[in-house]
Chain A
Amino acid sequence: MKRFLLAASLLALTAGMAEARDQIRIVGSSTVYPFTTAVAEQFGKTSGMKTPVVESTGTGGGMKLFCAGIGADHPDFTNASRQIKKSEFEDCAKNGVTDIVEIKVGFDGLTVANSKAGPDLTFTKTQLFLALAKEVPDKDGKLIANPYKTWKDVDASLPDEKIEVLGPPPTSGTRDSFVELVMDKGAEGIDSLKALKKSDAKAFEKVWKSIREDGAYIDAGENDNLIVQKLEANPQAVGIFGYSFLEENQNKIKGAAIDGKSPSYETIASGEYKVSRPLFVYAKKQHVGTIPGMVEFVKEYVSDKALGEDGYLASKGLVPLPGDDFKKTKAAAEAMETLKGDQLM
């Protein structure tokens, strides 16, 4: 037994000493995961180097790992479904991660969709806010618990059906984006709340950040495929998820128009469809030279064949950057320009 334990601890030690790493390691957002993995696979196939390992840890978790330090123990890239926060950037700097390259890779549209068997839906952000917020203003502008039971209660133009929305849970980055892109803007569309924003910004924030908990909004878990299946089974229900799932399941579900624009590849790319968020990949420039393939991987990511309009990422559902932005991103990424803290929020 003693000998066994000794062997085990020896093994542990030798593994710990194996510092050098010849494989790129990537962590971060599960939204960017499907795209970064596609690039990693292509990179592995064409470069002759080892295929990078891509972990799906969520944006926040990825940032924490990424900012923990430099050296072979720490990841080289992190995926993010939002820009790096100033606090995270400072945290990075404190741990010696000072040279970070930001690559904006494209957009992810958030869609509100229902079954093909259900009615065609068009919403305004304000209608969505009224249907989903925990507290809404009544006629006099006083906040009351959300009284709306059917879509028709919200607005006469909407169908006379129960409000039943399947969406991501509070831990999800998709939920954060939805709340910021739809609920915030929707709340601003109501006069009494606009006044509240001026007088008491904190209280206003609480109003648009709180989603109702009386059963009209259902946490459907992180798995978007599950939401699609539930929508298919229940034509009354409405779901919230990423655009790539709408594209893959267009035989079963259809996207609702928001503020007059239906979600499509074109409307998201042109910015007409407003409910979309940028996706990022961050690279640790200090690892260039120690970890083989860093620069080549970035080049593969921003190549025309990957990120271009007809690239393989577009066919995976990533909405690419418009032409000029893409050129700028590409040039900056290839030159490995580092991020400065004062550009961040």
Chain B
Amino acid sequence: MTDTAISAAPRRVSDNAALVAKRYRSERRFKLYGIAAIAVTAVFLVLLFADILVKGLPAFFEHRMMLPVSVSQEAIDPQNSKDPKIIRTGDFDGPIRESFRAMFPDVTSRGDRKKLLGLLSSGAADDFRAMVVNNPSLIGTDAKVPVLLSDDADQYLKGRQTGVAKIAGQGTITASADGEKFKLVTDKTPVLTAGDIVRLNGGAFRVVSADNGAYLAEQVTAPKSLDPANAGAWDIVRFTVTEHNRRIDDQEALWLEQLKEKGVAENGIAWRFFSSGDSREPELAGIRGALTGSILTLLVTLFLCLPIGVAAAIYLEEFAPKNRLTQLIEVNINNLAAVPSIVFGLLGLAMFLNFFGLPRSAPLVGGLVLALLVLPTIIIASRAALRAVPPSIKEAALGVGASHQQAIFHHVLPLAMPGIMTGTIIGMAHALGETAPLLMIGMVAFIVDIPGGFTDAATALPIQIYLWSDLPEIAFQSKTAGAIIVLLVFLFVMNAAAILLRKRFERRW
């Protein structure tokens, strides 16, 4: 018996040690799992944000040219009325086109001139018009005017169509006509490959074939002469993407290169992205309409949700008798919080549009629908906040003779307010990102005018993102990402406000 006791004791000790080691191992493993989970989440988040930033940042920049334009009395205000309404209808496109054409005096054929003007945005004259309308004293003077380039030209200059390498010409090159094509002869080791552009004497040739130093080229733009060009007087432009694979052809690309070399085209911050409404031209489209729509909608939501939600929460938490009916209500509020948002859209369509006859696409209706959507969230959050206030505070108030209502409004509610505010702001952030319910009430729409009131047609930020993502123009893809950045910033600001409010007013017991 003692034998076993003696032999068993050490075994148990060693058993214990093994067990303890196993428990530590298990704990370490668990910690590792946790770290791995966080790392995976972080990697995804970083990838997502990096992707959006890389795609979206170009949306905040645009290429424009500062062109000297003569603001002629005849074209803009022939009667010298100085009336902004008349000035607005003046011909602003003409002077800008003239000034732009003057930069390329060699472009003379009708087709080429049309192509050249195609590099300008269809809203190129908008800035000029605004400038003159705001300052009619410019009429009759010469002014430097910002002129916007088209989305394709802008994409090219941002390097999103093709890479470009420019190689200075070595030695002398001579071009000579060879039937419809041209022969290029250099006296140095040849470096040309098919597809290269050779610029000399103000013209450009595209190399078609390069066999053993015999270069056959076709003309892109006519040169001034076919004289030999010395080193430094000619160069090679090499695109990484071949001509038929991009939207800007060689000729247009060369014009844009010329603009770049002259320092005329500059990349500036696209303030219009924040100051204008939607447009079908990517370079003119802005976020202001959607942002205003979102703000108006959220205002309606907030003004409905906060009082109704808090009142409901206080009543249910503090005054309502605990019976079958209130239990039923409670369960249904929780259920309502889980109803898919599109259902609220259908409800909004049936109730607010068809029954009350409110206007379609209005922020008022959007706000009403979203209010229904976030009301359960706010009630639940507010009740939790009220419950978190220690009962001793209420009891003390009741003990010194306050009425039930006084105890709650003077003591419990102020202490619960940070929690209620946090819940409300998170509910609002949720509402900000909703698209589905707004679909049914006509807010998924192309709206150019910036909404000025609660019944004007409006759209919202997430809807703008959805609409832009579906358009064929490439430039809209960066606009989409740009709008996502704006939405995210809006959300961060709201969440930061929630955290600040909590930190500032939170009481600990």
Contact = CB atoms under 8 A, between A and B. Distances in A.
Contacts of B311: 1
A15 interface: yes
Contacts of A30: 470
B472 A55 contact: no
Nearest to B447: A53
Given A41-B448, A250-B244, 14 more contacts: A15-B359, A16-B358, A23-B457, A30-B470, A37-B280, A40-B446, A51-B448, A54-B445, A54-B446, A116-B245, A244-B472, A250-B246, A251-B247, A316-B472
B449 A50 contact: yes
20 contacts: A13-B356, A15-B357, A30-B470, A33-B446, A34-B280, A41-B280, A44-B449, A53-B445, A53-B446, A55-B444, A55-B445, A56-B470, A116-B245, A225-B470, A244-B472, A247-B472, A248-B472, A250-B246, A251-B246, A251-B247
A164 interface: no
Contact of A224 (B122, B307, B361, B470): B470
B280 A12 contact: no
Nearest to B244: A250
Interface of A: 1, 4, 8, 11-13, 15-16, 18, 23, 25, 27, 30, 33-34, 37-38, 40-41, 44, 50-51, 53-57, 73, 116, 222-225, 242, 244-245, 247-251, 312, 316-317
Contacts of A38: 280
B477 interface: yes
A53 B245 contact: no
Contacts of A44: 448-449
A37 B476 CA distance: 15
Contacts of B446: 33, 37, 40-41, 53-56
Given A116-B245, A225-B477, A15 B472 contact: no
Nearest to B304: A8
A25 B469 contact: no
Contacts of A8: 304
A316 B359 contact: no
A73 B349 CA distance: 13
A27 B308 CA distance: 35
Interface in B287-321: 304, 307-308, 311
Interface string B133-162: 000000000000000000000000000010
Given A116-B245, A224-B470, A16 B357 contact: yes
Q: What are the nearest 8 A-B pairs in CB distance?
A: A16-B357, A51-B448, A54-B446, A37-B446, A55-B445, A38-B280, A251-B245, A248-B472
A5 to B, nearest CB: 9
Contacts of B470: 30, 56, 222-225
Contacts of B72: none
B449 A248 contact: no
A23 B244 CA distance: 42
Contacts, number: 101
A250 B472 contact: no
A11 B368 CA distance: 12
B471 interface: yes
A34 B472 contact: yes
Interface in B109-133: 122
A1 B356 contact: no
A25 B360 contact: yes
A44 B276 CA distance: 14
Nearest to A4: B307
Contact of B472 (A18, A53, A224): A224
Contacts of A40: 446, 448
Contacts of B445: 53-56
A15 B368 CA distance: 14
A12 B361 CA distance: 14
B174 interface: no
B364 interface: yes
A46 to B, nearest CB: 9
B419 interface: no
Given A15-B359, A55-B442, A245 B469 contact: no
B74 interface: no
Contact of A225 (B246, B358, B449, B469): B469
Interface string B462-489: 0000010111111001000000000000
